[in-house]
Amino acid sequence: MYAVTSRATPTPVAQPAPTPVPTPSAAIVQASPSPPPPATKKLGAAGLKITLHENPADPLGLNAYFITDIKDKKYQTYVRDPGADTFRLVAENAEFGDPTISPDGKWIAVNPFQKFGASNYDNMVFIERATGQKFSIDTLKQPLRGLSGVWSPDSKRFLLTFYNVEPKEKVRYPAGFVAIDVAARKATVVMTDDQRDGYGNYDWSPDGAYVVGAYEKKDKPRFGLRLRDLNGNVVRTLAWVGLMPGPGLFSPSGRFFYTYCPDIKDGICVWNLASGNRTATVPSPNDESAVHDWWNEHHLVRYDPGKKTRKFVVIDLHGKVQRTLIEIPKSDADVTQFKFGRK
């Protein structure tokens, strides 16, 4: 049984005021020669036929996943048991959704896939891992809908990117973001002007003070990056960096971030946040490979497709595979979304 909080009140659209910045020069650094430690154990995962290759010293690991199997009518959300090698079912069928575990490990945020069944408001569900108690927070009134969410670095707030799902455009631009204070059970809706030129989902800045999002331009390079304060005002623009793949773009220290390169066929570009300089260009083996997260300051986690088996691997900043993290049969990969988290 859920405790439902009061509904959020939107704030007005913020007007952008980008600060001019100089075009940075490249500052290329060498990738770290130190590979990740080898795997010491193989694990399975509930509901799937995957193989995890792990080491207790790993800084990152699979901590949640959700299965959307329309053919077999299987809709399940799993999270890792705290400090364990097992995964448990936390939601299925009508309550199933996209799970995200907070950095401190205390909370599970679930963005339900079934929307607007009981009311014309979207909502987020939060589960306390220690007790299993859950509550729901109303966020957005239909036709606005929250699609992608990410925790703040201090685990106190949850950031939700939302879209207007009523129009029939082929490409939808973000309409704004919701900042949810979990302790206060309060959602603040911020409308932005990103429906004009924004692109993709938001992420937190490393200090949790700003919201970061991509935007599309008419000149080259096609995409840049903007930082907004929590009222939606633009406070910094990096016009040269390319398109951000999604949340998780900042390195563990917060010093670096990655994007698709300005010329996307070059692969992934790594940038210094303070200076805006490019520090590495990481080639991609093919168009279907995708970087998902940072492993540490010198390595990334990449999804590599195969004909029969898909893999998540650790790569260095030259794009060289250093270790396999997960092996996934194609049948599981086609219906499952995987979420990583820091240990």
- pLDDT tens digits along 7-42: 555 554 444 444 444 444 444 555 556 889 999 999
- Map out the domains of the chain with their CATH numbers: 10-337 (2.130.10.10)
Range with the lowest mean pLDDT among 12-16, 101-105, 191-195, 276-280? 12-16
User: Residue 96: is its pLDDT beyond 70?
Assistant: yes
User: Residue 302: is its pLDDT beyond 90?
Assistant: yes
| pLDDT band per the 50, 70, 90 thresholds, residue 286 | confident
Query: What is the pLDDT at residue 8?
Result: 59
Range with the lowest mean pLDDT among 143-152, 160-169, 213-222? 160-169
As a whole number, the mean pLDDT across the chain is 90
Query: What is the pLDDT at residue 86?
Result: 96
Range with the lowest mean pLDDT among 156-160, 174-178, 198-202, 203-207? 198-202
Cβ pair 148, 191 in contact under 8 A: no
Regarding predicted confidence, which is higher, 299 or 115?
299
Mean of pLDDT values over 234-260? 95
Residues 185-237 pLDDT 10s: 999 999 999 888 888 899 999 999 999 999 999 888 899 999 999 999 999 99
Mean of pLDDT values over 243-271? 93
User: Is residue 238 helix, strand or coil?
Assistant: strand
Cβ pair 334, 50 in contact under 8 A: no
Mean of pLDDT values over 41-68? 97
Q: How many CB atoms neighbour CB 272 within 10 A?
A: 16
Share of the chain above pLDDT 70, in %: 89
- How does DSSP assign 45-105, residue by residue? -TTS--EEEE-TT-SEEEEEEEEEETTTTEEEEEEEPTTSS-EEEEEEGGG-EEEEE-TTS
Query: What is the pLDDT at residue 20?
Result: 42
Query: What is the pLDDT at residue 170?
Result: 64
| pLDDT band per the 50, 70, 90 thresholds, residue 93 | very high
Query: What is the pLDDT at residue 32?
Result: 56
List C-alpha distances in Å: 166 to 95, 116, 123: 23, 13, 17
Query: What is the pLDDT at residue 33?
Result: 63
User: Is residue 298 helix, strand or coil?
Assistant: coil
Mean of pLDDT values over 66-87? 96
Query: What is the pLDDT at residue 171?
Result: 63
Buried b (16+ CB within 10 A) or exposed e, 191-200: bbbbbebbbb
Query: What is the pLDDT at residue 103?
Result: 96
Query: What is the pLDDT at residue 293?
Result: 96
